[in-house]
Amino acid sequence: MPHVLAKMSMQLLAKSNVDFLSIASRAQSNYWSNVPMGPPDAILGVAEAFRKDTSPKKVNLGVGAYRDDNNKPYVLPSVRQAEENIFKKCLNHEYAPIGGDPVYCDLIAKLGLGENSLAIKEKRNATVQSISGTGALRLGFEFIGKHYNHAREIWMPSPTWGNHPQICNTLGITHKKYRYYDPNTLKFNLKGCCEDICSMPPGAIILLHACAHNPTGIDPKPEEWQILSEIIKEKRLLPFFDMAYQGFATGSVDNDAFAVRLFEKHGHQIILAQSFAKNMGLYGERVGGLTFVCADQDTAAKMMSQLKIMIRTLYSNPSINGSRIVTEILSSPELKAQWLKDVKEMADRIILMRKKLREGIEKRGSKHKWDHITSQIGMFCYTGLKPEQVLRMTKEFHIYLTKDGRISVAGICSSNVEHVAEAMHKVTAS
Ligand SMILES: Cc1ncc(COP(=O)(O)O)c(C=O)c1O
């Protein structure tokens, strides 16, 4: 073989000044020839198609990121102020502790579980900083895969955020669906949900969207959460709350944490994934948290030790900038008050756009019912548009959304709401 290479190299060298060694070694083998081309991400693929569209009318309703009324990315005034405060402190860039800064962890646990949480008072919570909401879910699911000794299957609402089943698939964890959305009534299917809960094996994990369900925008009412909590307790299931939108549903972070706090009060040993991507607009900072509410302090300490071991081999320790911003806001009464106002403003703008969109479609004489646009909550609206109608929205009107008909109302503003209403009316008229 060395002889062949030598001969080849001489020939190649004689003909041109090409780097013969690299050609020869490439020809020898392709170590990755087994890797197939993967499909684009359903949501980020929409963003990509939007970017390529040159029409001035184009609207992106695919990605769940808040835009202001000029359709521009929004930096919350509370976040700007926090950044200025942090800059003035001239802090260093040392590593954060493996589980994140304990002050940060304490603040976010209280934001989720409430200031009066018994679990926090009794030090029964194991809370770590995570890489936003996705990282919290990934860490939580992985922890379940490694340490959970009961029915290791995760039941998810149907439909749910596409990344939930994908994370389970990556980890080889069984996931199943329970009924959540009723396409006939366009409402939460309490009866179907309860029937499915009754068929789950004891100890199974039930994934719940704490508020502003993605993609449907439909949450159980407080009295329905009560029922769910009771039967989940009776069936001895483990509730895993995904809270990616605290504040976005009602404009109040306390109202939106209702289910989480109710379950904790009822004695559930909940798991809680938190994200500050949406409610602080810290999308790219990737800051969030994962909390296990445990039976006792001793278990919480053991859980914490294992979480740290898991994090150490995943990403060693979390990033510091995002958590500093969150800490600055949550630890200052003035900044926190400003942030609560900012969250309310974002939620209110979305509610106003829902109203304008519905009015815009109805005033064009639509024969369909559009009350779900205003009855649903949070960032998303499950419009009911069929895949072929979604295609027309994009082809004829340059409006981008996911195939399931979900739109991010946060992408609608005063200058494009009539265009979106016109498009929705036209594609559903014929
Ligand atoms: C239901 C749900 N969970 C979790 C996330 C995680 O978001 P991030 O990782 O940006 O915090 C999202 C984001 O769209 C979501 O919709």
Region of 87 on the Ramachandran plot (φ > 0 left; ψ -120 to 50 alpha; else beta): alpha
- What pLDDT score was predicted for residue 10? 59
So what's the pLDDT on residue 390?
95
pLDDT at 415: 95
Clarify whether 225 is annotated catalytic: no
Which ligand 1 atom sits nearest the alpha carbon of residue 135? 9
Separation of 273 CA from ligand 1 center, angstroms? 10
- 382 and 370 Cβ atoms separated by less than 8 Å: no
Q: Which residues of 304-317 are buried (b: 16+ CB within 10 A; e: fewer)?
A: beebeeebeeeeeb
The CATH architecture one would assign to domain 42-74+345-429 is Alpha-Beta Complex (3.90)
What the block records as the tokens of 326 is 């969150």
What's the CA gap between 300 and 104, in Å, rounded? 17
Residue 11 CA to ligand 1 centre (angstroms) = 57
- pLDDT of 24 reads 60
Nearest CA to ligand 1 atom 14: 64
Q: Where are the domains of the chain?
A: 42-74+345-429, 95-331
| 214 CB near ligand 1 (under 6 Å) | yes
How far apart, in whole angstroms, are the C-alpha atoms of residue 193 and residue 117? Answer: 28
131 lines ligand 1 (CB under 6 A): no
Q: Is the CB of 161 under 6 A from ligand 1?
A: yes
Give yes or no for a contact between 288 and 299, defined as CB atoms under 8 angstroms apart: no
Which pLDDT band holds residue 346 (cuts at 50, 70, 90)? very high
64 Cβ inside 6 Å of ligand 1: yes
Interacting residues of 250 by C-beta distance below 8 A, sequence separation 6+: 211, 256, 347, 377
Split at pLDDT 50, 70, 90, the class of 22 is low
| Averaged confidence pLDDT in the chain | 93
pLDDT in tens, 88-145: 999 999 999 999 999 999 999 999 999 999 999 999 999 999 999 999 999 999 999 9
Secondary structure letter of residue 318 according to DSSP: -
Q: d(Cα 168, Cα 146) in Å, to the nearest integer? A: 13
Quick check: helix, strand or coil at residue 381? strand
Q: Which fold has domain 95-331?
A: Aspartate Aminotransferase; domain 2 (3.40.640)
Contact yes or no for 59/405 (Cβ under 8 A): no
Answer for the pair 383, 373: CB distance below 8 angstroms, yes or no: yes
Per-residue pLDDT, averaged over 187-195, amounts to 97
Please say if 278 is a catalytic residue. Answer: yes
pLDDT of residue 237: 98
pLDDT at 131: 98
Q: Is pLDDT above 70 for 9?
A: no
How far, in Å, from the CA of 56 to the mean position of ligand 1? 29
Give nearest CA residue, ligand 1 atom 12.
244
Q: What is the pLDDT of residue 280?
A: 98
Q: What is the DSSP string of 264-312?
A: HHTT---EEEEE-TTTS--GGG-EEEEEEE-SSHHHHHHHHHHHHHHHH
pLDDT tens, position by position, 269-328: 999 999 999 999 999 999 999 999 999 999 999 999 999 999 999 999 999 999 999 999
Indicate the range of 10-19, 34-43, 327-336 predicted with least confidence: 10-19
CA-based nearest residue to 361, from 429, 412, 301, 422: 422
**Best mutation site among 167, 208, 214 for ligand 1 pocket (most ligand atoms within 8 Å of CB):** 214
Q: Is the CB of 276 under 6 A from ligand 1?
A: no
The answer, yes or no, to whether any atom of ligand 1 lies below 6 A from the CB of 288, is: yes
Token readout for 240 is 């895993």
pLDDT at residue 345 tops 60: yes
What's the pTM? 0.92
Percent of the chain whose predicted confidence (pLDDT) is above 90: 88
Of 367, 389, 329, 314, the closest CA to residue 145 belongs to 314
**Measuring CA to CA, which residue among 296, 299, 418 is closest to residue 361?**
418
- Is the Cβ–Cβ distance between 378 and 214 less than 8 Å? yes
Instruction: Give the model's pLDDT for residue 246.
Output: 98
Which of 155, 225, 278, 356 is the catalytic position? 278
What confidence score (pLDDT) does residue 27 get?
A: 60
Please report the pLDDT score of residue 25 as a whole number.
65
Instruction: Report which residue type is found at 273.
Output: A
Q: How confident is the model at residue 11 (pLDDT cuts 50, 70, 90)?
A: low
Selected residue with higher pLDDT from 398 and 9: 398
Which string of DSSP letters, residue by residue, matches 70-124? TS-B---HHHHHHHHHHHHTT---PPPPTT--HHHHHHHHHHHH-TT-HHHHTT-
**Mutation pick for ligand 1 pocket among 242, 276, 326, 402 (CB with most ligand atoms within 8 Å):** 242
- Furthest C-alpha separation in the chain: 83
Q: Is 126 in the pocket of ligand 1 (CB under 6 A)?
A: no
The protein residue whose alpha carbon is closest to atom 8 in ligand 1 is 133
Q: How far apart are the first and last CA of the chain?
A: 70
161 is catalytic: yes
Indicate whether residue 370 lines ligand 1 (CB < 6 A): no
- Of 237, 229, 322, nearest to 279 (Cα)? 322
* Lowest-confidence segment of 45-59, 161-175, 202-216, 356-370 by average pLDDT: 45-59
> Is there a contact between 252 and 233 (Cβ–Cβ < 8 Å)?
no
Q: Give me the percent of the chain exceeding a pLDDT of 70.
A: 93
Reported confidence tier of residue 63, pLDDT bands at 50, 70, 90: confident
